[in-house]
Structure 1
Amino acid sequence: MQNPSVTDLAERLQHAARTGVPADPADIPGLAEAYAVAQAQRHLSEATGDRVIGYKIGLTSGPARKAFAATEPTAGHLVASRLLEPGKPVTATGLFRPKAEVEIAFVLASPIGGPNVTAADVRDATAAVAPAFEIVDTRWRGGPTSLPMLVADNTNAAAAVVGAQVPLPADLPAQTSILRIGTQTVPGAATAVMGDPAEAVAWLARHLARSGNRLEAGDIVLSGTLSTPAPIHAGDRLEAEISGVGGISVEVV
């Protein structure tokens, strides 16, 4: 049987996100093909009038990379329709295996690009940071069984909630977090994000440079989860506090 094309896979995953019917697993040869599928999804979204407002970074912890035999993090894009307004609930209907991640969102004041970007460059280019929830989900039936499947599915990006912006703390790697879901508490730490969330954003800039792209002023970057992703369900209330950055909450309906 002939392997499905990049466009076909992108359309399957977009259809799954729209309808709540998961896509059948696919054999994707490698990361180049996987990122091509994710890029094709970006074009499909833009063709419907949606717009890309930034990026998300996945597999920013050692254990997460080990689970997928990955040698580096992964990148996905954020579209405006998936960024929830403050106070708006997360709708669980149509999601498959949603999980909540506590993240630090970077809001950029100036572009960042090139193969040699450092965490210091990121700090210099950052207008503000904010506490954020990323809701991750898989559109593959049964979930991704390979790294290329994860990447092709836009690194599981499903929705995001971004809180109030604050100045970048000078000691960002020292910050910790607490996620509360009912009586469950999940601790986290900024050091889980490549040792420093600014380093994760620097990695993203270097990654984009490989394809001749860069981070732009105004981009929102979800830098990676501070804590273990937590399954969520309708009826849950999510509350998170990141020291030095602030708190955020959202209802799941």
Structure 2
Amino acid sequence: MKTELIPELAQRLWQAGNGAPPAHPGTADWLDELELAYAVQHATRDLAIEAGDRVIGYKVGLTSQPARNAFGAGESAAGYLLADRLLEEGQPLSTAGLFEPKVEIEIGFLLGEALPGPNVTTRDVHDATAAVAPAFEIVDSRWRGGARTLPMLVADNTNAAHAVLGSHVAPPWDQPEIPTTLSINNRTVPGNATAVMGDPAEAVAWLAGHLLRNGARLEAGDIVLSGTLCTPTAISAGDRLVADLGELGRIAVDVN
């Protein structure tokens, strides 16, 4: 049965994120359903917890229509965030152990209340959010050559690698129309919060419903990275990354 293959694949992906070579795509020939993919993702999460890490929140991926089209996805995808992969603001980002890292500008939501659902609205998200913060997400695939299918992407925790949160901004705040700029040395990449499902709070509301369908929920204290405001952009050692999110502030990190 396909479910018997879940632990082995989870082990391969987890090891690839911890110094081993990337997983060969051929090991995922059987991975053809999202339910199986999330089961692999949850198994990698359990391996991280067994190794002493802890889950501190979630990330939402495929929050733009072009990104969903690229994977033939009918909706966004979810992943988890680990404490050991969250960098302090000002802490350098090491590319050691990463394969083809890219940077995304995100808005991080810090929940002050649970969002149990069902039918969570953006108003519910605003009411439950204690603060937001400008953020970087560093994404990287543990598949050799990258994920080729939606189940491969989901199984690999939607490419989550590292995250950096900037200074917190307390309510009241409003973010749907915030233009953003990512600077990488002398290059600039434009973005806008409307790229995230029209409103990043909508992505958090979607996540609440997704988790509920899978027997979980967003809890007080969770961090949620709501989706990228700009095109994921390749980075390398020596880069300086600066994101300007207007009223939500700036965040910077050096890549080693």
- TM-score between the two structures when normalised by the length of structure 2: 0.96
1:161 to 145, 161, 164: 164
2:129 to 110, 120, 126: 126
Q: Distance in 2 between matches of 1:57 and 1:104?
A: 11
Q: Distance in 1 between matches of 2:175 and 2:242?
A: 20
Residue type at the aligned position of 1:138: S
Say whether the 8 Å CA contact 2:87–2:162 is kept in structure 1. yes
Q: Distance in 2 between matches of 1:223 and 1:168?
A: 17
Q: Distance in 2 between matches of 1:135 and 1:112?
A: 26
Q: 1:114: Cα distance to partner?
A: 1.9
Q: Percent identity?
A: 61
Q: Distance in 2 between matches of 1:3 and 1:38?
A: 13
Q: 1:171: which partner in 2?
A: 174
Q: 1:174: Cα distance to partner?
A: 1.3
Say whether the 8 Å CA contact 1:20–1:96 is kept in structure 2. no
Q: 1:171: Cα distance to partner?
A: 2.9
Q: 2:34: which partner in 1?
A: 31
Q: Distance in 1 between matches of 2:137 and 2:9?
A: 24
Say whether the 8 Å CA contact 2:3–2:36 is kept in structure 1. no
Deviations 1:14-64 (A, max 9, x none): 111111411111121210000000000111111111100000000000100
Q: 1:244: which partner in 2?
A: 247
Residue type at the aligned position of 1:133: F
Q: 1:97: which partner in 2?
A: 100
SS of match in other structure, 1:18: coil
Mapped pair 1:63 → 2:52: no
| Uncovered stretches (5+) of structure 1, i.e. residues with no partner | none
Q: Distance in 2 between matches of 1:169 and 1:183?
A: 34
2:143 to 140, 143, 154: 140
Q: 1:7: Cα distance to partner?
A: 0.7
Deviations 1:89-124 (A, max 9, x none): 111121111000000000000000222111111000
**Distance 1:60-1:168 versus aligned 2 partners, 3 A rule:** farther
| Uncovered stretches (5+) of structure 2, i.e. residues with no partner | none
SS of match in other structure, 1:244: helix
Q: Distance in 2 between matches of 1:59 and 1:247?
A: 24
Say whether the 8 Å CA contact 1:20–1:95 is kept in structure 2. no
Mapping 1:175-214, distance limit 5 Å: 175-214=178-217
Q: Distance in 2 between matches of 1:158 and 1:247?
A: 21
Aligned pairs, number = 253
Q: Distance in 1 between matches of 2:251 and 2:137?
A: 12
Q: 2:229: which partner in 1?
A: 226
Deviations 1:147-198 (A, max 9, x none): 0000000000000000000024543101111000011100100000000000
- TM-score between the two structures when normalised by the length of structure 1: 0.97
Say whether the 8 Å CA contact 2:89–2:251 is kept in structure 1. no
Q: Distance in 2 between matches of 1:117 and 1:14?
A: 32
Q: 2:6: which partner in 1?
A: 6
